[in-house]
Structure 1
């Protein structure tokens, strides 16, 4: 549970960027470790409302780089995820589990994200 105004403001700031909201929502929904590639596909699905195959390689690369150099490190700095750079694997932590109800409430307020926010379905 968020105990102070500072902690709550930190969560709000963390959720300010839509790519991070999507990452947090997918991690909460899937309840397991995900690859950067999985998260890239989820962002494409929800930000572009299309399949990853219909987005240019450059756009996909830009999203992946922003995840690796901006968004995942920010989540890792707050101990919400552990990031294995060699395996490109993002793992939610116990801190993530503790804050998930508050994060979910913030994410659910985003009118641009249609629940459930999940990984791209290859059969769709």
Structure 2
């Protein structure tokens, strides 16, 4: 592996949290930039099995705050996404491609995530 390769332990750390696994899985499936709103809806769909229309504003805010404060910064710090706070868009980077083989295997093993994870 070269110096810019993502270490296996870092991949496992990124996938440790269920919300991050869902976010990574939807980036894998969509292969494009996503808004925080997109990520919030996807987390609701796969983690809470609840449509956005049936969720309290408090629950939505809690997910958004966790994305802003925890999950997006964690993904950005490893260099797998770039985040534009003004547009509230997160975009997978070239480094994200290094996650793909690991990510597919991890998602396949998660019994609560049905592939493909889509918006």
Deviation readout 1:53-81 (Å, 9 max, x if unpaired): 11111000100010011001000000000
Q: Distance in 1 between matches of 2:84 and 2:65?
A: 15
Q: Distance in 1 between matches of 2:8 and 2:71?
A: 18
Whole-Å Cα distance in 2 between the matches of residues 115 and 87 of structure 1? 28
How well do the aligned residues superpose, as a CA RMSD in angstroms? 1.7
Q: What residue number does 1:92 align with?
A: 92
Structure 1 unaligned blocks of 5 or more: 120-124
1:98 Cα deviation from its structure 2 partner: 2.4
Whether contact under 8 Å (1:2, 1:102) holds in the other structure is no
1:22-73 Cα distance to aligned partner (Å, 9 max, x none): 0000000001000000000000000111211111110001000100110010
Task: Structure 2: give runs of 5+ residues left out of the alignment.
Answer: none
2:18 is equivalent to residue 35 of structure 1:
no
Report 1:1-124 matches (<5 A).
Answer: 7-119=7-119
Residue-pair matches, total: 117
Provide the C-alpha distance between the structure 2 equivalents of 1:60 and 1:30, rounded to a whole number of angstroms: 22
Secondary structure of 1:94's counterpart equals coil
Shift of residue 115, structure 1, vs aligned partner:
1.1
Residues 1:28 and 1:2: Cα distance change in structure 2 (over 3 Å): farther
